[in-house]
Amino acid sequence: MIFSSILYNNPSFIPIFHRLKSLYLLTKGIYFPVKYALNLIERFSSLIHLELEIYSVDKCRPLINILLDGLPKLIHLKIHFHKNKLLCDGTCLTNHVIERRRQAFPHHIIKEDEIYVKIDGKILNIYLSGCSICEKKNFTL
């Protein structure tokens, strides 16, 4: 529903979309299509927390790249995936996340010791920096 053209393209909602800090796109049986990732970062540019579900892990890396490159305020990204297990480990993904953020935002200071990636079954958590909503203890490896 969030990407319904009636809601999404309504000019009266655009200022509200740009102020949202958290967005949870979890609906049983409905998965976030990667093709909407650019639309998401365009409309919801101030997101610091994002949680969504995708169908297959093979869509995970491109989606992560788009979100890391396009959401400068992002602190916590949580991705649930239905099919397959993530092949990469947390260390591999942590290095990837650090590199993507450095490329996308070269003038931002990246605190490597505050970046955590945790893979738990079919859930991927990426934690980018200190936040009062997220607790660091939930993201230790």
Per-residue pLDDT tens over the stretch 107-136:
888 888 888 888 888 888 999 876 666 654
Contact 64, 79 (CB under 8 A): yes
Q: Which domain holds residue 73?
A: 5-139
Contact 20, 40 (CB under 8 A): no
How far apart, in whole angstroms, are the C-alpha atoms of residue 27 and residue 25?
6
pLDDT for position 90: 64
Per-residue pLDDT tens over the stretch 31-84:
888 888 998 899 899 999 999 998 877 778 889 999 999 999 999 999 988 776
Does residue 2 surpass a pLDDT of 60? no
Comparing 29 with 108, which gets the higher pLDDT?
A: 108
Does residue 138 surpass a pLDDT of 60? no
- The total domain count for the chain is 1
- Which segments of the chain does DSSP mark as H helices, in order? 5-8, 14-19, 37-43, 60-70, 90-104
**Per-residue tokens: 18:** 């740009």
